[in-house]
Amino acid sequence: ANDMGNDLKKVLLTEQQIQDRLAQMAEVIDKDYAGHEILLVGVLRGAVMVMADLARKLHTPVQMDWMAVSSYGSGTKSSGVVRILKDLDTDIKDRHVLIVEDIIDSGLTLSWLEANLRTRGCASLNIATLLRKPDAAKTNITPRYVGFDIPNEFVVGYGLDYAEKYRNLPFVGLLAPHVYEKH
């Protein structure tokens, strides 16, 4: 479906592996939230694929809302200071909120977001992320649902971008060094 094969070093997670794992996660989430309604909060833009596929595997009634945040920082290092570009349209007071993310890398985005949402009086707050990198362990975030722990390499696809490209790949791949060394 994509002519980007040459930009990738290898496929880390196939489309099938991703979908199988999301199905397992959905089963656990359905059990955990039995009898409740979930407000899924997707973090734009990377989380769109996980949100769409995970939500379709859930049997629990869900609503969906979105936040867009941007972390201040120099270059590629994020500082942990986050700015809200688009806030929720939903009042989350007394709601069971499940944040949906594509990846936790440094963990800075989510630790800020989690703290921010906690001040709004939700009934519960959990995190579901497809991917988690090793540095996430240095933060205090404890995502309840994690798809895959992956090595500290440059991953793209399935929502994840490099310079806004590759988000539409249905799998997760490792970017070939020649792509980012050009810049």
Catalytically annotated residues = 105
Tell me how far apart the alpha carbons of residues 12 and 84 are, in angstroms, rounded to a whole number. 31
- Would you say 33 or 158 has its CB closer to Mg ion? 158
Q: Which of 30, 32, 65, 161 binds Mg ion (CB under 5 A)?
A: 161
Cis ω on the peptide bond leading into residue 45 (within 30° of 0)? yes
By CB under 6 A, is residue 108 in contact with ligand PRP? yes
- Shortest distance in whole angstroms from residue 10 CB to ligand PRP: 21
**Side chain identity, residue 18:** I
In the bound state, the residue with its beta carbon closest to Mg ion is: 161
Using a 10 angstrom Cβ sphere, with 0-12 exposed, 13-18 middle and 19 or more buried, the burial of residue 38 is buried
Structure tokens of 12?
């880390």
How far apart (Å, rounded) are the C-alpha atoms in residues 56 and 29?
A: 12
x/- map, 60-99, ligand PRP, by CB under 6 A = ------------------x---------------------
From Mn ion, Mg ion, ligand PRP, none, which one binds at residue 107 (CB under 5 to 8 Å depending on kind)?
ligand PRP
Helix (H) or strand (E) segment spanning residue 128? strand 124-132
Whole-number minimum distance, CB 44 to ligand PRP, in Å?
Answer: 6
Report the residue number, 110 or 125, with the smaller CB distance to Mg ion: 110
Question: Judged by CB under 6 A, which of 26, 42, 98, 109 binds ligand PRP?
Answer: 109
106 binds, options Mg ion, Mn ion, ligand PRP, none, Cβ within 5 to 8 A by partner type: ligand PRP
CA distance 89 to 52: 18
The CA distance from 22 to 145, in Å, is 10
- Residues 105 and 170: their CA atoms lie apart, in Å, by 20
Nearer to Mn ion, 60 or 105 (CB): 105
Closest-CA residue to 127 (of 45, 42, 59): 42
Binding site for Mg ion (CB under 5 A): 161
Binding site for ligand PRP (CB under 6 A): 43-46, 78, 101-109, 161
